Amino acid sequence: MHASPPNGGPRVKPEGTRVPDITFHTREAGAWKDITSQELFAGRKVIVFALPGAFTPTCSASHLPRYEELAGEFRKAGIDEIVCMSVNDCFVMEAWRENQNAKNVRLIPDGNGEFARAMGMLTDKSRLGFGDRSWRYSMLVVDGVIEKMFVEPDVDGDPYEVSDADTMLAYVAPGHRAAPDVVIFTRSGCGHCARAKKALEAASVRYREIEIASIGGIDAVRAMTGRDTVPQVFIGGTHIGSADELDKHLAQDAA
């Protein structure tokens, strides 16, 4: 089964074929370390998710944090490692790992885009000033062979619909249901943000709070939601909206 090519680009490497043979130039604990595809994948079950860039809004707010959060569930399902790849250099990826406090996901820099290109997943983001980047996707690799891929649809922008951790968990552990990922974007001193958090707490809903100053301010919120206000709430990857919209959503759930 072939996935859709990104933005009319080359054909995506199909399921049932081997991952590209690449040497990744990484930094771990402040030291240089070369890692090969053989070392990453041979004799192991590995989940890879690739994304457009470190420190970008969706990648920092949802994609990486949810895989980090569900790492224990993936281990129970027999997964040996979770790998995040991005066409960024090793210094950027190391800084992002520290910024995100990522302890359960291994961040691998595809600095020259060799892996993304060989996967058929390199896409041109020049209009944003990013140059060549990876299309967003996830895959399960078993002993170096691609068993399953979830590739985001070939539409404009940065779709985030199927490469998420919950979709992958449903594939590797059918029937398992993790608590939905609830994220609230806030700003210090915002009364409506405080009201939204109280509403979630009153409904016994666990959530992650992201102060927008840490991800680029209101511009990052606008990029994800098209809105210029906070709070903005996401539940299970679905944009719920403001404090008022959250109240309506919680009331519908309680009905």
Which residues are designated catalytic?
Answer: 59
Question: What gap in Å lies between CA 116 and CA 195, rounded to an integer?
Answer: 43
Question: What gap in Å lies between CA 3 and CA 67, rounded to an integer?
Answer: 22
* 191-195 contacts, C-beta under 8 A, 24 or more apart: 192/230, 192/231, 192/242, 192/243, 193/230, 193/231, 193/243, 195/243
Place of tokens 């040996």: 80
Containing 38, the helix (H) or strand (E) segment is helix 37-41
Place of tokens 């210029």: 228
Instruction: Single out the residue of 135, 138, 68, 64 nearest to residue 96, CA to CA.
Output: 64
Give the distance from CA 175 to its chain's centroid: 22
Dihedral in degrees, nearest 10, Cα atoms 237, 238, 243, 244: -170
Q: Give Cβ neighbours of residue 125 (< 8 Å, ≥ 6 apart).
A: 52, 131, 132, 133
Residue pair 64/100 in contact (Cβ under 8 Å)? The answer is: yes
